[in-house]
Structure 1
Amino acid sequence: MAAGIVIRKAHFPGRAPIEAYGNGGFRFADMSHRGSLLCLPSGIYGWEPADPAALAPADFGRLLDEADSVEILLVGMGRDLRPLSPELRAAFKQACISADPMSTGAAVRTYNVLLAEERRVAAALIAVD
């Protein structure tokens, strides 16, 4: 039986600072990932929101499943800051998560600081070119 290439959903089973971002992806833990990321206490996951310009609660299902482990969510909105929708803010408030939208660069820097401080932080990072 010949073994073919197996493509799995991107997942790093741990917490790691983001070493670099840009060119449509991120570097962390001596690896690189093309596309957006969801950094949670359970690990770092490849993340493909349905519409990065209009994030919805459905894009954050995995995060909401881990809400008990998250106090702060940093949402890297790409190059430009965009507000979170009232629907999304309500979902985070109900889960007792403080959500802060910012540019992806600012979210990466803040995530790394809060991670080093061992805070209960998560980040949803939209990739930038």
Structure 2
Amino acid sequence: MPKGIEIRDAHFPGRAPIDAYGNGGFRFADMSHRGSLLCLPSGIHGWEFEEGQPLTSEALARVLEEAADIEVLLVGTGRELRPLPQQLKSALKARGIASDPMSTGAAVRTYNVMLSESRAVAAALIAV
């Protein structure tokens, strides 16, 4: 019989606006999460990604898996805007997803507006 704390993948099974960000994490749906997030049609998922790591198709594999339900992917690239690599932009475009990189703060604000408009939006938010 296992002992101790069971660590599970962080997942909120719904769509919710992001209430706050900073100090290395986010607040949403009366919860807080330390680290980066993927906000997808299937819910809000913890994302093992840190500012400065290369953005690749592998890093966003879960986004690509849910591509049928996503029209726009907002990528919060951290404190500053970082352009997306061409290979990643091409992989997203091939699945019908428009990508828009911006600072994490701008991505949070844009995501909340698009979510309130019931748009088919997803966000990859790097913790700041």
Common fold: TM-score over 0.5 = yes
Equivalent residue number for residue 4 of structure 2:
4
Cα pair 2:50 2:126 within 8 Å, conserved = no
Match of 2:122 in 1: 122
| Higher mean displacement: 16-25 or 1-10 | 1-10
SS at match of 2:107: helix
CA drift at 1:54 = 1.5
- SS of the residue 1:108 aligns to: helix
Question: Where does residue 76 of structure 1 map in the other structure?
Answer: 76
SS in 2 for 1:59: coil
Q: Unpaired runs of 5+ in structure 1?
A: none
Q: Is the 8 A contact 2:51 2:126 kept in 1?
A: no
In structure 1, how many angstroms separate the alpha carbons of the residues matched to 2:71 and 2:2?
47
RMSD: 1.5
What aligned pairs does 1:34-49 form with structure 2 within 5 A after superposition?
Answer: 34-49=34-49
Which string of whole-angstrom CA distances, capped at 9 and with x for unpartnered residues, describes residues 61-118 of structure 1?
1111110000000000000001000100110110110000000000000000000000
1:86-125 correspondence runs (5 A)? 86-125=86-125
Identical-pair percentage: 68
How many residues are paired up? Answer: 128
Distance (Å, rounded) in 2 between the aligned partners of 1:26 and 1:89: 26
TM-score of the pair, normalised by structure 1: 0.94
Tell me, yes or no, if the aligned pair for 1:15 and 1:41 is still in contact at 8 Å: yes
Aligned to 2:14: 14
| TM-score, normalised via structure 2 length | 0.95
How far apart are the structure 2 equivalents of 1:82 and 1:16?
25
Is the CA contact 1:49–1:55 (under 8 Å) kept in the aligned structure 2? no
